[in-house]
Chain A
Amino acid sequence: MGLLSKKDVALIKDPLADDNPITIQVLGICSALAITAELKASIVMAISVVFVLGIGNVVISLMRNIIPSKIRIIVQLTVVATLVIIVDQVLKAYSYELSKTLGAFVGLIITNCIIMGRFEAFALGNGPWRSFLDGIGNAAGYGIILILVGFFRELLGSGTLLGYKVLGDSVEKTGLYALGYENNGFMLLSPMALIVVGIIIWVQRTRNKALIED
């Protein structure tokens, strides 16, 4: 048997599409709406959550037999909080501007429903290796949606991608702007993120009818 059995592959692959935490389980919506106005912030957020959920799942899985079940939520919170503080400090040290953009939302990874959800639903009942794969898979599924939403919101809302002017210069009126195009300010507002997530859910369920509930 190789490094990854078929079941292990499913642990990573399922959350990417057919069991996606955002579009199917509808978890972690709050941060998906709040920080996706820029692609860069979405990518950093995705990486941070992959780190926190991957390590956190392993830690909880290792401790699963010694945590008294009555105080397990507090223990889980302590673990996430520790990891989030590490992420926060690294961001502040190496990319201060970005950490200011993300603001409270790095700290709020602690309350991201996906993380507590995976701890409760998976890490408490499975071994460290499988928990690790599950954590990476779910965080990546979350990240993909974040990056997709961030891509459309930044492109249509600001005409840029990762800060580069893709559609031309809106001030000097070059590129598309010379033809009278204007940025869609609605895209930068959170309600539009909800609508973009909704459209992704719509497309996904149209392609795979099995996902439609009655």
Chain B
Amino acid sequence: MGLKNTLHNLKEKYKGTKMAPAFNAIHTFLYLPNETTHNGTHIKAADDLKRTMNTVIMALVPCLIFGMFNAGYQHHLATGTIEAAEGFFSYSFWSIDNLVVGLWKVLPLIIVSYGVGLVIEFIFAVIKGHEVEEGYLVTGMLVPLIVPIDIPLWMLAVAVAFGVVIGKEVFGGTGMNILNPALTIRAFLFFAYPTWMSGDKVWVHGAVETAGTPDAISGETILGTLAQNQEVSHSIADMFFGFIPGSVGETSTLIILLGALFLIFTKIGSWRIMLSSVLGAIVMGLIFNLTVDSGWITESSKFYGLMSTVWWHHLIIGGFAFGVVFMATDPVTASQTNKGKWIYGFLIGFISILIRVFNPAYPEGVMLAILLMNVFAPTIDHYVVQGNVKKRMKRLKAKTA
């Protein structure tokens, strides 16, 4: 109890000073405060906003660890120093060498993401005189997981500053933002520095430096390969386990699935959104498969590679699974009503695959699909609520008449 009491006493001492919000943030992150609300209803629940955020971070940690191993594995595999992994528990994947490369490349991303983001949050809290908002805890963890391994750190810093200020603070901070901040950051990177966010050079550590030399290694993602109508060399098991090039934490569908179960079990993430997104993607995938089967699209078409991809393969390649589980379910930017969540999720899945197939310039559609549906979420909610009001009004009329 020593630290808790000391912190509490310090808090009382510095109450009302300029730095108080910054201090309170650290205090409440570590402990439940010693005070209760002063009026209104008192509900005591274990999960306040900070606890909610911590739960999501816990669900993300396996993705992060897997991402570190995968970063090293892809690097060593591309340079030819190790054999391809056989099975999920293969030693050539879970080796210390891989982890060292992963730590070396991923830790700086995490430090920059949290450092820049939290400094901006603290500055805004001190200027505006409100408490530091917890929203960045999850965003700061998501950001390193959705960028390519070799992204220059200064670009990440610029993007985080942009995303936090323009994506969140201008709307009034956590809970008021329209767009998911982590995706805003990724979209900024994508449009600002497209050479670092797409192509076949950035997904595997070392590919950029060796480009053009005899040691050049290729790090094409599966979506990139398919968009060029080429054969995919990775097996289905590789795709599902995540032994494929891609953004740091998005490759392993298996690990993401574990995170999804954890989120659903703790009732933090909405299973409605996850399920309906998957349904939407399946429907769109089946439509494309049917057009190929009926012979409308032949191998000469530039869409053939992605259109002929078997519908369920779409679910395990690219960032679809990660986006749907961790980004689409963001409680602030998603639809709030249950019926709205079904519509919102379905359209995310549907549009993701649509963009993926039809726009080779944006190999991964899930980012743009989620951002687009973020914008529409309040509209969906509005019509769902109005529809309910209308239904009940009708019932009322029938009763009184």
Contact = CB atoms under 8 A, between A and B. Distances in A.
B193 A184 contact: yes
B89 interface: no
B188 A180 contact: no
Contacts of A129: none
A172 B379 CA distance: 49
A187 B192 contact: yes
A185 B152 contact: no
B170 A185 contact: no
Contacts of A195: 166
B296 interface: no
**From B155, B170, B188, B192, residue with most partner A Cβ within 10 Å:** B192
Q: 6 tightest A-B contacts by CB?
A: A186-B192, A186-B191, A184-B192, A185-B192, A182-B193, A195-B166
Nearest to A181: B154
Contacts of A198: 166, 170
A96 interface: no
Contacts, number: 23
Contacts of B155: 182
Interface in B153-203: 154-155, 158, 166, 170, 188, 191-196
Nearest to B153: A180
Contacts of B188: 186
Nearest to A199: B166
A29 B39 CA distance: 47
B193 A185 contact: yes
Contacts of B152: 180
A111 to B, nearest CB: 27
14 contacts: A180-B152, A181-B154, A182-B155, A182-B193, A182-B196, A184-B158, A184-B193, A185-B193, A185-B194, A186-B191, A186-B192, A198-B166, A198-B170, A202-B170
Interface range on chain A (Cβ under 8 Å from partner): 10 to 19
B154 A180 contact: yes
A49 B212 CA distance: 50
Nearest to B195: A182
Interface in A160-209: 180-182, 184-187, 189, 195, 198, 202
A174 B193 CA distance: 19
Contact of B191 (A180, A181, A185, A202): A185
A153 to B, nearest CB: 12
A195 B187 CA distance: 14
Interface string B115-158: 00000000000000000000000000000000000001011001
Nearest to A187: B192
Contacts of B158: 184
Contacts of A202: 170
Contact of A189 (B191, B195, B196): B191
A54 B154 CA distance: 46
B54 to A, nearest CB: 32
Q: Of residues A186, A187, A189, which shows the largest number of chain B Cβ atoms within 10 Å of its Cβ? A: A186
A186 B197 CA distance: 13
A185 B154 CA distance: 15
B179 to A, nearest CB: 12
Contacts of A181: 154
A202 B165 CA distance: 12
Contacts of B192: 184-187
Contacts of B195: 182
Residue among B155, B191, B194, B196 having the largest count of chain A Cβ atoms under 10 Å: B191
Contacts of A180: 152, 154
Contacts of B191: 185-186, 189
A186 B154 CA distance: 16
A187 B158 CA distance: 13
Contacts of B170: 198, 202
Contacts of B193: 182, 184-185
Contacts of A184: 158, 192-193
Contacts of A189: 191
A112 B166 CA distance: 28
Nearest to A189: B191
A185 B159 CA distance: 13
Contacts of A187: 192
A143 to B, nearest CB: 25
Nearest to B196: A182
A190 to B, nearest CB: 11
Given A182-B195, A198-B166, 12 more contacts: A181-B154, A184-B158, A184-B193, A185-B192, A185-B193, A185-B194, A186-B188, A186-B191, A186-B192, A187-B192, A195-B166, A198-B170
Interface string B290-310: 000000000000000000000
Contacts of B154: 180-181
A187 B191 CA distance: 9
A214 B158 CA distance: 32
